[in-house]
Amino acid sequence: MASDGVIQFQLHHRDAPLPDAEAIGILSGLRDALRARGWIGRDPARYGGLGYGNVSRRLAGDAFLVSATQTGHLATLAALHWVTVTVASPATNELWSEGAGKPSSESLTHAAIYQACNAAFVCHIHHPALWKAACAGAIALPKTPASATYGTPAMAASLSEIASCETDSFAAAMSGHEDGLMAAAESPEALLELLDRLSAKVATAR
């Protein structure tokens, strides 16, 4: 399994002023809610102890604010842990960003989703039970091919295709990335409601 935090795209990054509190406030709240559910964070028993999960918020056009790489293990994020992606080209595996740190290694996939639909928020989470149920067909969710691995153009292309075929609120299992799912929605509330509903289906099916 490719590890969360390993950037595989060509990054063009420059230092820039930190985003203001208003820009990151709602996004921080979404991340806190996902972390409280165990879908973002760090588990010493999984993935070699590496942190997992990231969130983003659309800005103007296809630009977006995203959590920095290798921050999944942190309990809370400060302003320096958020990065602005200004331009992304999934087709050429390139991304332009600015901020104090480097963008999440899954930022290319976030970009592909924003370019394919009108979602305003995107998250990458780890939910072992939901991922296994989706991959086994027990839960009806779109799935990326097992050959599309984490952080690659193939993963971005697969999620772009799914996003363009779904509504602006959807979730998809990343078959080639253990326990990984991507989800998008028009608001943090809609995103959490979608994931909570899917999680409840898994619990009921057990």
Convert 117-180 into a string of H (helix), E (strand) and C (coil).
Answer: CCCCEEEEEECHHHHHHHHHCCCCCCEECCCCCCCCHHHHHHHHHHHHHCCCCEEEEECCCCCE
3 state DSSP class of 11: strand
Q: What is the pLDDT of residue 61?
A: 84
3 state DSSP class of 98: strand
Using one digit for the tens of pLDDT, what is the confidence trace for 90-142? 889 899 999 998 898 889 999 999 999 999 999 999 999 999 999 999 999 99
- Contact (Cβ atoms closer than 8 angstroms) between residue 179 and residue 128: yes
Q: Look up the pTM and report it.
A: 0.92
- What value does the mean pLDDT take over residues 46-74? 89
Q: How many residues does the chain have?
A: 206
- What value does the mean pLDDT take over residues 133-154? 91
C-alpha atoms less than 13 angstroms from C-alpha of 55 in its C-beta half-sphere:
26
Q: Between 55 and 203, where is the model more confident? A: 55
- Contact (Cβ atoms closer than 8 angstroms) between residue 153 and residue 147: no
Q: What is the pLDDT of residue 6?
A: 66
Q: What is the pLDDT of residue 191?
A: 97
What sign does the dihedral 189-105-138-36 (CA atoms) show? negative
Superfamily of domain 10-205: Class II aldolase/adducin N-terminal domain (3.40.225.10)
Using one digit for the tens of pLDDT, what is the confidence trace for 179-202? 999 999 999 999 999 999 999 998
**Residue-range domain boundaries for the chain:** 10-205
Q: Between 79 and 49, where is the model more confident? A: 79
- What value does the mean pLDDT take over residues 35-43? 93
Q: What is the pLDDT of residue 1?
A: 40
Residue 4 has pLDDT above 70, yes or no: no
Residue 103 phi, psi dihedral angles, 5° rounding = -70, 160
